[in-house]
Amino acid sequence: MCIVAFLWQAHPLYPLILLNNRDEYHNRATKAASWWEDSETEILGGRDELGGGTWLGCCRDGRIAFLTNVLEPHTSPRARTRGELPLLFLKSRKSPREFAEELKTEGEYYNGFNLVVGDIETKSMVYMSNRGPKAEAGKFYIQEVKPGLHVLCNAQLDSPWHKSERLRVRFQQELAKYGEKPVSLSHIAGAIMKDSVKSPPALLPHICSPDWELSLSPIFVHCQTALGVYGTRSITALSVTWSGEVSFYEMYLDVGSTNAWKDHLFTFYIQH
């Protein structure tokens, strides 16, 4: 289902610092983050090999897009894959607002999603969802993202779910330790994004079954289902400096014979 915390245009060293957990079935084929060699646009991100899309990606020109699903009691098996949405933006030449306005007419073809698209160079970022502020089906919603700390889980941006508020507080605490010094992405990711504390039952959103919601309620998810193990498959920490240096750090579960966690780091400068 995924969760993202990001600080936008509100830090002395970084116009963007982002933390992301991607949750999915462990048996769903997935590639760790890399540069996509089969794309005309230089895209860095992980890949869902079943749907062909991604949950988080960025480009050398300073464009970024990330996605979470909306928690719903029912979904349509005939809907388009939501993972294509970040790619549509990254491959386009549209501004974040232009892209959001164009997607309005396509939103009905997807199950519930939250999508954030941004352009570091133009300091523009937009949040959109095909579920309105009250999670109403078919109500496409667009919002400019204001400077500050935001958390996106499986409801509207900055919805006060227990896991979201817990991540917000822990992110603020970790950033405060660094002050105006450079942050360690690997340290922050390890310190915050492996938090497995569950929500008190009374604070669950009461959208689906209580057992399922409780399983999804930690920042770091791991649970057994009838379809196999479901949970956090990757942890990403991304930063962009005001000089345009991008650092993309990923911890990922290498599903296979070892089933071990590995990590890697990509760095590049935004090309004007």
Q: What is the structure's pLDDT at 134?
A: 58
Q: What is the structure's pLDDT at 124?
A: 98
pLDDT in tens, 175-230: 999 999 999 999 999 999 999 999 999 999 999 999 999 999 999 999 999 999 99
Q: Which helix (H) or strand (E) holds 263?
A: strand 260-269
Q: What is the mean pLDDT of residues 227-235?
A: 96
Instruction: Give the tokens for residue 49.
Output: 């090999």
C-alpha–C-alpha distance, residues 29 and 183, integer Å: 32
Contacts of residue 63, defined as CB under 8 A and 6 or more positions apart, other chains included, come to: 89, 90, 117, 118, 119, 120
CATH topology of domain 3-269: Penicillin V Acylase; Chain A (3.60.60)
| Strand partners for 34 | 45
* Closest alpha carbon to 61 in 74, 46, 44: 44
Q: What is the structure's pLDDT at 257?
A: 65
C-alpha–C-alpha distance, residues 39 and 269, integer Å: 19
C-alpha–C-alpha distance, residues 101 and 118, integer Å: 14
Q: What share of the chain is helix, strand, coil (3-state, %, to 5)?
A: 20, 40, 40
The amino acid present at 168, given as its one-letter code, is R
Instruction: Give the tokens for residue 9.
Output: 């245009």
Which residue has tokens 């938090």? 195
Binning pLDDT at 50, 70 and 90, where does residue 174 land? very high
Q: What is the DSSP string of 26-66?
A: TTS-EEEEEE-TTSSS-EEEEEETTTS--SEEEETTSEEEE
How many other CB atoms sit within 10 Å of the CB of residue 266?
Answer: 16
Instruction: Give the tokens for residue 80.
Output: 């388009």
Q: What is the structure's pLDDT at 169?
A: 98
Q: What is the mean pLDDT of residues 224-252?
A: 97
Residue 51 phi, psi dihedral angles, 5° rounding: -90, -20
Q: What is the mean pLDDT of the chain?
A: 95
- Under 8 Å between Cβ of 126 and 105: no
**E-assigned strands of 79-227?**
113-119, 124-131, 137-144, 148-152, 222-225
Lowest-confidence segment of 56-70, 96-110, 249-263 by average pLDDT: 249-263
Asked whether residue 137 carries a pLDDT value surpassing 70, the answer given is: no
Asked whether residue 256 carries a pLDDT value surpassing 80, the answer given is: no
